[in-house]
Structure 1
Amino acid sequence: MKIACVGGGPAGLYFSILMKRQDPSHDITVHERNPAGSTYGWGVTYWSELLEKLREGDPETAHAISQNSVSWTSGVAHVRDRTTVQPGDEGFGIGRHRLLELLAERARSLGVRVEYESEVTADALPDADLVVAGDGVHSAVRERYADRFGSDIALGRNAYIWLGTTKVFDSFTFSFQETDHGWIWAYGYPFSGEQSTCVIECSPRTLAGLGLDGMGEADGLARLEKIFADILDGHPLIGREKGDGAAQWLTFRTLTNRTWRHGDIVLLGDAAHTTHYSIGAGTTLALEDAICLARELGAQPDKQAALAAYERRRKADLLRLQSAARYSAQWYENLPRYIHLPPEQMFALLGQRHSPLLPYVPPQLYYRLDRAAGRLEALRRLKRWLGPKLARTSQSRALAPRKEAARQGAPHQEA
């Protein structure tokens, strides 16, 4: 099969790797419009479940990604001058530039052509049996056929900016700071031994009140460094180099599509769907799309049937995460509802922000119910663990008189 991947992001590159491993005779080209090494973003996050899936698909890629990642096992929340620490699952971070570099190297080693500064326009698609549009939320291919795909974009309420810092966090770090114009907060996590990602978010009212919406990048970063001095420890924030000096404040775009395929075109990753960055799943979902698409194409001889199965399976898999992302975004959009709780309660509800019940239950009541449910579940687990032990103990006690009687040669009666 002749395959053209539009967009040299993680999804397109990993898909090309999997397809070449399936059948080296596939003719695959990845078209990336930007020069090699020029990528947006800082670090990306993932969890151990993804690493296991990558090992199944291509152990060499999984090993390279693992060797170039850093990890953490706890979360830290700073609220004003108070700090709360919570243990959690092991998380991983890797620089986006390094991730793309590793994937491109592996793809080329398998015979994939990775072409940089190769822009594909929607009116002049490559001549291929399959065109995989993995060119992001602003996908030119998808927008050309937006009516066929049934694209819909919903804008979030808050403003955010994606930054880097030389401060290397040792855990997933939150900082919530109150200003005269409302709350502003940061999420920070490491992605190498030298740098971390730092995403900063606030309401439009706070953004305007602090003057951040009208500041150039340099002045804005200086202002933010003062606000988040508690977690930066004197380290600078680093913006994206755009050349015009403007700060890159954004509003999150939640993208959905009625269908992900049109003729020989199929959507992948952010071109097909987006989930709010606060659940840290964007890159993971893109790679899982690539895994599913490659698996279906390898399992079914009919290409259109494979594309239909891919869309059906991935849409079903995404339902839960899309719901979680929606509620997570709403939790932050309604931060004043939770921020005045005691820090340990606020952090606990931060961890419960995916719950569809939380917006409708008074926060302190929800916290108490959640704690009670946790204790009940712990009690259930203890009873399940003790059950066989108690049964064995009772059985031993019941048998003891019989064994003793047998040793003494006395008769006994079965109950």
Structure 2
Amino acid sequence: MYVDTITDVCVWSGGQWLDARDVHVADGRVTAVVGARELPRGQRVLAAAGGHLIPGLINTHTHLHQACMRGIGEGEPLLSWLRTVGEETVALTPERAYAAAAAAATEALRSGTTTLVDHMWPNPSAEIHDAVLRALHDSGIRAVLCRGVADRADPSRKWGFDPRLMQQLDSALAHTDELVDATAGSRVSAGLAVPNPRSLTPAGMRQVRMYAEERDLPVSIHLLETVTDDLMCREHTGQGAVEYLEAAGFLWERLLAVHCVELDAAGRAALARHGVGVSYNPLSNMRLGSGIAPVIAMREAGLRVGLGVDGAASNDTQDILEAMRIGAYLQRAAHRRADLLGFAEMLAIAAGGANEVLGLDSRADGVVAGARADLVLHRFERDYACLPVRDPGATLLTCASSRTVDTVLVAGEAVVQDGRSARLSEAFLVDVLSR
């Protein structure tokens, strides 16, 4: 169902809550936010009295295929965990990839994510990529599908990537061109994904950047999730990880650096100097014992920081509301300050902190005319544990969950209705994940 008008809703717009508003939608975008009945209502109405409308949230980092790997490697440190996940990834079939991606995308939508960035592991199988793309289309979510690339092989993954999942860089980039063509005009766009600085040679970095810049594609890279990147880069090149990337010319405004837990002041300055964005993944960093990313210092350095949920093998959910809440609380605990990262700041991070890096519309002002009609309607009465509502923003940050998500619009289409997917049935997802 497509929606023309959302009626009588309390909406987050221009940095404030506006009560009793009608939100008008046409051609996938918000055309007006006005007082109730100030403009004629469309034929396809979403009655929203008592609800609270916010922009759809952006998950800047996940691995969709890991939705069939929940709970694996529990208690293992990063490198050991990576090897465990790697074995499962080598055995991945197109059927399993479809099931995992469909389930992860649907779970993401049900928590209010309207756009996700899938950082795909390198994989030589075109069928795997096709299956993930088909699942994204079927779910209705907006996505940036980042195709994995690497050109340095190492079974240990300390200085390179698993050779069983690699292919020649030229071939991987040629396949990315096919994905660019396949996604043209859809809700999915293409990008590139680099496992970490250790997985690309300097020559590979130059080739990947040139390719991405020629096609105006974003590139996602895991960076300094732990000290391993720095230790290995210094051992093999005599440079730290950020220095290594900068020397190879692999820092620019369309690069999204994921995690950055060990990013020091010099590294923050270098990334900011080149316009690099950052994906903050608090729950994954906690689960794997990686540490706490210096988000406050990153933002003070001028870095554009978005929110990531990470894959279900390290989170182990795709719930962006949980990530938003814990992302704020973790910084408060680290700094021993309760006044850090309130609702407005966390929503800005979660709805648009790294959008420019990814080539997505900015949503810093909330639900406003001209923005994409990627919207989330919360009904706090769906969960008594959210009541009473003293401050809608505080309730969203501290209490809301997928239980309060009533309707999710992507490009004006209600892809979640009454808290359930309007595209894929839960029975289907249970069936395909249980095989």
Please say which structure displays the higher CA radius of gyration.
1
* Structure in which a larger fraction of residues adopt helix: 1
Using the size of structure 1 for normalisation, the TM-score is 0.25
Using the size of structure 2 for normalisation, the TM-score is 0.24
